Amino acid sequence: MLKRFVSSMLAFALVFGGAATLPDGAVSEIESAIAGQVQIHASATTTSSKTSNGYFTISPDKNSWQDIKSKSQNVDCAYSYKGDTTNLLNATASFNIVTRGGVPDISVMYLGNDLLQKYKDAGYTNVSAKECQFNGNAACKMQANMSKDGYTIKMVQILFINNNVLYTITYGSESSVFSKLESEFNKAFKTLKIKSHEHTYTTKVVKPTHTANGYTLHTCSKCGGSYKDTYTDKLPAESLSKAKITGLKNKYYSGKAIKQTPVVKLGGKTLKEGTDYTVSYKNNKAIGTATVTVKGKGAYKSTAKATFKIVPRKTAISKVTSPKTKQLKVIYSKVDGVTGYMIAYSTSSKFTKDTTKTACAKKTAKTITKLKKGKTYYVKVRTYKTVDGKKYYSGYSDVKKIKVK
């Protein structure tokens, strides 16, 4: 468990340490150069020497090394030290080497001083950054402690730049065995040889998108080190103000917030929710008019709006009679929260305009008078609610018919 904790602390230190702020003119890719996204996968040990990309010839005495294959393109190579299986180092110690090519000519102490505050912000204590020498290179030695679960982990990170390649060497352990780890580290790295070479770069122009700048990528064909320059601005976002929103339907009141799946088109292109826009609602719970707002995202900006109605629930006719001559009486179910009921009656089953009349009621029964004797009438009922002076109607009930006395 402690070994996993040590490894995770070192991995965090490497990744977190990658966000350095650079002076004007420096390549911004150095922000991730210190580590990129290093994944530590410690497994079986090996006693053979390792060489990667021509950078290192590492032959530590009585130590084993595990090659780490990083998935990040920002990392050229990485190693993790597992220690001698006969002592505590196997359980409590680790160190890593990470390199990154294509680094501009900047002061390594600039990076160190920038990292200083970042480690403090991350909760490390006893943090320091000092100038030192490593294999004849000007270097920065970072030191920091992290305490967790009753353990104090001591960490050292050495940064130096050689032939435009940034080297980050990190080692650490639980404090009780730190001095032994440091001694082993110093012995092992006496055999570390840096093989410099002339970079041979190929270039690739990456076009800008609506969410990312364009740039020219330079990649060394020998070591894989890379850097970017010649940045171009992101593509301007297109306004959604003239977008067409369809797919909305009037909905019956449910007492809950009502959402729909709008279809948003701009210039004949159907846009994708979550990628091109987000959706929000207003007044989408009560009877009335609900508003749908789509807000541009990624390649799109501004907003477009559409509305739909939330109408009261329907009623159902329970009975229609002709209690007296030239009269009909309709009884229907009660619907809570409505202003009233509208009864439509007609001598035509199709409710044509010329044959149809309406009457309103507050209660759940209505008697219609002055009808034509002996005629068959068709009846249907709907509810309505008045909101801010406007009536919102439900759909009609099923049609019932009655022959009037």
Write down the pLDDT at residue 378.
98
Q: Quick one: pLDDT band at residue 109, thresholds 50, 70, 90?
A: confident
Q: Which among 37-41, 110-114, 287-291 has the top mean pLDDT?
A: 287-291
Write down the pLDDT at residue 134.
73
Q: What integer best gives the mean pLDDT of the chain? A: 74
Percentage of residues of the chain with pLDDT beyond 70: 64
Domain-ending residue, one of 270, 295, 311: 311
Burial status of residue 17 (CB atoms within 10 A of its CB: 0-12, 13-18, 19 or more): buried
Task: State whether 278 and 298 are in the same domain.
Answer: yes
Q: Quick one: pLDDT band at residue 195, thresholds 50, 70, 90?
A: very low
What average pLDDT does this structure show over 177-203?
Answer: 63
What average pLDDT does this structure show over 47-66?
Answer: 29
Contact in structure between 174 and 168 (CB atoms under 8 Å) = no
More confident residue, 13 or 315: 315
CA distances to 54, 100, 185, 190 from 62, rounded to whole Å, are 23, 28, 12, 13
pLDDT tens digit sequence for 362-379 = 999 999 999 999 999 999
CA 24 from chain center: how many Å? 30
What CATH number does the domain containing 186 carry?
3.40.1000.10
Write down the pLDDT at residue 376.
97
What CATH number does the domain containing 364 carry?
2.60.40.10
Write down the pLDDT at residue 158.
81
Task: State whether 182 and 219 are in the same domain.
Answer: no
Q: Quick one: pLDDT band at residue 95, thresholds 50, 70, 90?
A: low
Q: Quick one: pLDDT band at residue 153, thresholds 50, 70, 90?
A: confident
What average pLDDT does this structure show over 328-352?
Answer: 97
Q: What is the per-residue DSSP string for 354-375?
A: GGEEEEEESSSEEEE-S--TT-
Task: State whether 63 and 177 are in the same domain.
Answer: yes
Contact in structure between 382 and 358 (CB atoms under 8 Å) = no
Is the pLDDT score of 105 beyond 80? no
Is the pLDDT score of 350 beyond 90? yes
- Give the gyration radius of the chain's Cα atoms: 38
Write down the pLDDT at residue 110.
78
More confident residue, 291 or 128: 291
| Rounded Cα gap, residues 372 and 83, in angstroms | 105
First-last CA distance in the chain: 92
- Residue appearing with tokens 């990470």: 98
Task: State whether 175 and 299 are in the same domain.
Answer: no
* 62 Cβ contact partners less than 8 Å away, ≥ 6 residues apart: 84
Query: What is the CA angle 33-38-44, rounded to 5?
Result: 140
Q: Which among 29-43, 168-182, 356-370 has the top mean pLDDT?
A: 356-370
DSSP 248: -
Residues for the chain: how many in total?
405
What average pLDDT does this structure show over 103-122?
Answer: 76
Contact in structure between 309 and 289 (CB atoms under 8 Å) = yes
Domain-ending residue, one of 277, 311, 345: 311
In what helix (H) or strand (E) does residue 317 lie, and over which residues does it extend? strand 317-321
Q: Quick one: pLDDT band at residue 127, thresholds 50, 70, 90?
A: confident
In what helix (H) or strand (E) does residue 7 lie, and over which residues does it extend? helix 2-16
Q: In terms of Cα–Cα distance, which of 152, 17, 40, 36 is closest to 95? A: 40
Task: State whether 262 and 352 are in the same domain.
Answer: no
Burial status of residue 354 (CB atoms within 10 A of its CB: 0-12, 13-18, 19 or more): exposed
Q: Quick one: pLDDT band at residue 223, thresholds 50, 70, 90?
A: low
Is the pLDDT score of 359 beyond 80? yes
Q: In terms of Cα–Cα distance, which of 184, 7, 2 is closest to 83? A: 184
Task: State whether 221 and 255 are in the same domain.
Answer: no
Task: State whether 15 and 106 are in the same domain.
Answer: yes
Is the pLDDT score of 73 beyond 90? no
CB atoms under 10 Å from CB of 259, counted, come to 13
Task: State whether 159 and 266 are in the same domain.
Answer: no
Q: Which long-range contacts (CB under 8 A, 24 or more apart) does 127-134 make?
A: 132/158, 134/158, 134/160, 134/169
* 262 Cβ contact partners less than 8 Å away, ≥ 6 residues apart: 245, 246, 247, 248, 273, 279, 292, 294, 306
Whether pTM exceeds 0.85 = no
Task: State whether 247 and 358 are in the same domain.
Answer: no
| Rounded Cα gap, residues 12 and 121, in angstroms | 13
- Domain range spanning residue 208? 201-232
Helix 108-121 vs helix 2-16: crossing angle, to nearest 10: 120
| Rounded Cα gap, residues 67 and 82, in angstroms | 11
More confident residue, 96 or 15: 96
**How many distinct structural domains can be found in the chain?**
4
CA distances to 88, 92, 177, 302 from 9, rounded to whole Å, are 18, 12, 16, 43
Task: State whether 242 and 335 are in the same domain.
Answer: no
Q: Quick one: pLDDT band at residue 174, thresholds 50, 70, 90?
A: low
Write down the pLDDT at residue 333.
97
Write down the pLDDT at residue 218.
85
Task: State whether 145 and 219 are in the same domain.
Answer: no
What average pLDDT does this structure show over 350-355?
Answer: 96
Tokens of 124: 């490390």
pLDDT tens digit sequence for 292-336 = 999 999 999 999 999 999 999 999 999 999 999 999 999 999 999
More confident residue, 127 or 385: 385
Contact in structure between 175 and 142 (CB atoms under 8 Å) = no
Task: State whether 244 and 307 are in the same domain.
Answer: yes
More confident residue, 205 or 169: 205
DSSP 58: B
| Rounded Cα gap, residues 152 and 16, in angstroms | 19
Q: In terms of Cα–Cα distance, which of 177, 187, 166, 162 is closest to 58? A: 187
**Helix residue spans in 36-104 (DSSP H):** 89-92
Write down the pLDDT at residue 122.
76
